């Protein structure tokens, strides 16, 4: 089998970029919490890389991308990568080896549950998190990856999600909200963010990696790859500047953390649409996402939901909005493999996208709450007040970020 060396090389780079996003997320979250909880939040991202890889190799990839046409989950044909060799091609594009596609998708699976952790920072025991991580991957991420990207139920409906508005951001964001409701508020006031430079470093790594996240989702090198790349950047940039202006107007200061948060909101929102919409539409998505996510966080604060690092307000709302925006702005002239959206007269596609993301948000919310309730019957999910006061770094890990 002869593979396209250009596309294969590009996809290996894109895979590396997406891998870099999980450590980037760790830095982003680590900077946002107080000094006594830096390592506890960062290890939750890094351990996801290891645990997810083990599950992905053993059975996760197979459940997501083998068999199960039109179904909720796949089969176990590729368990332990059985039958995959040097000449095995990815069936969706014979230009790259299956190993490359498997590795690329594994990086998505690694970062998605890690996103949730920012919502319950400083409150959840590491042991409980590990159990939750496994359950959530098996019963939430794997089914939605299969249904949307693996030829499953939603794919058969005609649902599109270029790089993870449903599969990554919506399900993680609404799971985060359920976790917030289950674990409740922090009992000890956190003085974070303790290091805005760390937040900036994490944002830079996330933004950089997002080019692989979105442009790489074309799975080859062509004009749509370039479209997704530029749409990623303009949505993030316009969202960042919009957030800066809004925060300046309402908070009377140009907030650096606001600028950084706005860029992530824009990136999350453009993710499902990056390869299906025009650049002008990506600009619009970025601006709207910034405004809506800013309001969502304002509402969250008013309602006193203790989503510590605004996972729901940025990723949940941003991803949800991005899927809706795809249903509105999709344009076949941008990508013949896509669809026209509501603005071009295709109301059916708009309703499919809307129904799909609503179902995803609802299921992930309900499953997460139920899973945490069950885990709590086996081992306490929430740390004691003494642990909160001492900080999770010392109490849970026996380590300190700063001496």
Q: What is the pLDDT of residues 290-315, one digit of tens each?
A: 999 999 999 999 999 999 999 999 99
93, pLDDT greater than 80:
no
User: Is the peptide bond preceding residue 19 cis, with omega within 30 degrees of 0?
Assistant: no
> How far apart are alpha carbons 28 and 39 in whole angstroms?
12
In tens, the pLDDT along 13-45 reads: 999 999 999 999 999 999 999 999 999 999 999
| Phi/psi-derived region of residue 51, left when phi > 0, alpha when psi is between -120 and 50, beta in every other case | alpha
pLDDT digits 0-9 by tens, 321-357: 999 999 999 999 999 999 999 999 999 999 999 999 9
Let me know the angle formed at the C-alpha of 85 by 84 and 90, rounded to the nearest 5 degrees.
60
Task: Give the model's confidence band at 1: pLDDT under 50 very low, under 70 low, under 90 confident, else very high.
Answer: low
115-146 tens-digit pLDDT: 999 999 999 999 999 999 999 999 999 999 99
Task: Indicate if the pLDDT at residue 177 is higher than 80.
Answer: yes
Question: If you ran DSSP here, which 8-state letter would residue 250 be given?
Answer: H
> Average pLDDT, stretch 349-376?
98
Q: Express as a percent the part of the chain with pLDDT over 90.
A: 97
Query: Can you give the pLDDT at residue 28?
Result: 98
Q: Report how far apart, in Å, the C-alpha atoms of 282 and of each of 93, 220, 247, 266 are.
A: 26, 21, 22, 9
Structure tokens at 82: 């059985």
pTM above 0.75, yes or no: yes
The string of pLDDT tens digits covering residues 50-85 is 999 999 999 999 999 999 999 999 999 999 999 999
pLDDT of 403 strictly over 90: no
From CA 189, how far away is CA 52, in angstroms rounded? 32
Residues with Cβ < 8 Å from 144, sequence gap 6 or more? 154, 166, 167, 171, 360, 364
Q: How many residues does the chain have?
A: 403
Backbone angles phi, psi at 209, to 5 degrees: -65, -25
Residue 368: pLDDT band (50, 70, 90) is very high
- Residue 49 CA to residue 24 CA, distance in Å, equals 12
State mean pLDDT over 154-174.
98
For 246-270, what is the mean pLDDT? 97
Q: What is the mean pLDDT of the chain?
A: 97
Q: How confident is the model at residue 316 (pLDDT cuts 50, 70, 90)?
A: very high
Q: Which residue has the tokens 């069950």?
A: 374
Give the pLDDT band (50/70/90) at residue 190: confident
Query: What pLDDT does 98 receive?
Result: 96
pLDDT tens profile 378-401: 999 999 999 999 999 999 999 999
- CA–CA dist 88, 361 (Å, integer): 35
**What are the structural domains, with CATH classification, of the chain?**
5-397 (1.10.3430.10)
Report pLDDT for 2.
81
Span 264-273, mean pLDDT? 98
């Amino acid at each position: 089998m002869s593979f396209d060396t250009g596309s294969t090389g590009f996809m290996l780079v894109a895979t590396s970029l997406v891998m870099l996003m999980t450590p980037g997320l760790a830095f982003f979250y680590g900077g946002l919490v107080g000094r006594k909880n830096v390592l506890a939040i960062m290890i939750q991202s890094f351990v996801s890389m290891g645990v997810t890889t083990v599950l992905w190799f053993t059975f996760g990839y197979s459940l997501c991308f083998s068999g199960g046409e039109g179904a909720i989950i796949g089969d176990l044909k590729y368990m332990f990568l059985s039958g995959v060799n040097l000449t095995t091609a990815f069936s969706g594009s014979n230009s790259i080896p299956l190993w490359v596609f498997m590795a690329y998708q594994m990086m998505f699976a690694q970062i998605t549950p890690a996103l949730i952790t920012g919502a319950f920072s400083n409150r959840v025991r590491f042991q409980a998190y590990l159990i939750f991580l496994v359950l959530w991957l098996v019963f939430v991420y794997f089914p939605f990856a299969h249904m949307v990207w693996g030829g499953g139920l939603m794919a058969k409906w005609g649902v599109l999600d270029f790089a993870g508005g449903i599969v990554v951001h919506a399900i993680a964001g609404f799971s985060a909200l359920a976790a917030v409701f289950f674990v409740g508020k922090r009992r000890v006031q956190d003085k974070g963010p303790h290091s805005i430079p760390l937040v900036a470093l994490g944002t830079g790594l996330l933004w950089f990696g997002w080019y692989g996240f979105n442009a790489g989702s074309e799975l080859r090198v062509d004009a749509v790859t370039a479209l997704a790349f530029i749409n990623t950047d303009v949505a993030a940039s316009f969202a960042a500047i919009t957030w800066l202006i809004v925060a300046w107007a309402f908070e009377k200061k140009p907030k650096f953390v606001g600028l950084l948060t706005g860029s992530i909101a824009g990136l999350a929102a453009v993710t499902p649409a990056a390869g299906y919409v025009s650049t002008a539409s990506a600009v619009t998505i970025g601006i709207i996402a910034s405004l809506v996510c800013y309001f969502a966080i304002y509402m969250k604060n008013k309602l006193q939901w203790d989503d510590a690092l605004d996972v729901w307000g940025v990723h949940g709302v941003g991803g949800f909005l991005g899927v809706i925006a795809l249903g509105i702005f999709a344009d076949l002239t941008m990508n013949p493999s896509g669809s026209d959206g509501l603005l071009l007269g295709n109301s059916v596609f708009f309703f499919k996208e809307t129904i799909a993301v609503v179902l995803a948000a609802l299921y992930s919310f309900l499953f997460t709450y139920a899973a945490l309730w069950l885990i709590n019957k086996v081992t306490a999910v929430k740390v004691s007040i003494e642990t909160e006061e001492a900080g999770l770094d010392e109490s849970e890990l026996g380590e300190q970020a700063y001496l």
